Amino acid sequence: MATQTEVARHLSLTDRQLRRLQKLPGAPISNKRGQLDLDAWRDFYISYLRRSKNDVPDGDSEDDYEEKLLIARWELTAEQAVTQQLKNEVSKGKLIDTGFCIFALSKLAMALSSTLDSIPLSM
């Protein structure tokens, strides 16, 4: 039996990483005094690493996921800024919605077609 800090040190993890692993299904639970079984945790961690090796492509680690998350947040913020700029342009009257343009041009084409049909072909 060992404490959480001892188990983390034995598995070369931080306390935070061990607490995150404790939330996973199948993780060994502590006894009533908070002592953890070192052998059970070693077996669980080995199986966890094997599962994660099969799930994660080569070269991806937790840091890579955090970096990808940061990049995704940055891209989302940039897209939201572009969207807000377009909304501002519409409210200023400098930009027109494409649906409205299609509607207006179709009405104009119908009005012009009747006028053009009435013009004789030879002059």
What's CA 25's distance to the chain center, in Å? 24
Is the pLDDT at 112 greater than 90? The verdict is yes
The CA distance from 34 to 51, in Å, is: 27
Q: What is the mean pLDDT of residues 33-37?
A: 81
Distance, in Å, from the CA atom of 77 to the CA atom of 10, rounded to the nearest integer, reads: 41
Contact criterion met (CB below 8 Å) for 36 and 4: yes
Cβ atoms within 10 Å of 18's Cβ, excluding its own: 20
Is pTM beyond 0.85? Reply is no
The model's pLDDT over 82-104, given as tens digits with 9 standing for 90+, comes to: 999 999 998 998 998 889 999 99
Q: Residues 32, 38, 40, 45: what is their CA dihedral angle, to the nearest 10 degrees? A: 120
Mean pLDDT of 96-114: 92
List pLDDT tens digits, range 39-60: 888 989 898 888 887 765 555 5
Assess whether pLDDT exceeds 60 at residue 67.
Answer: yes
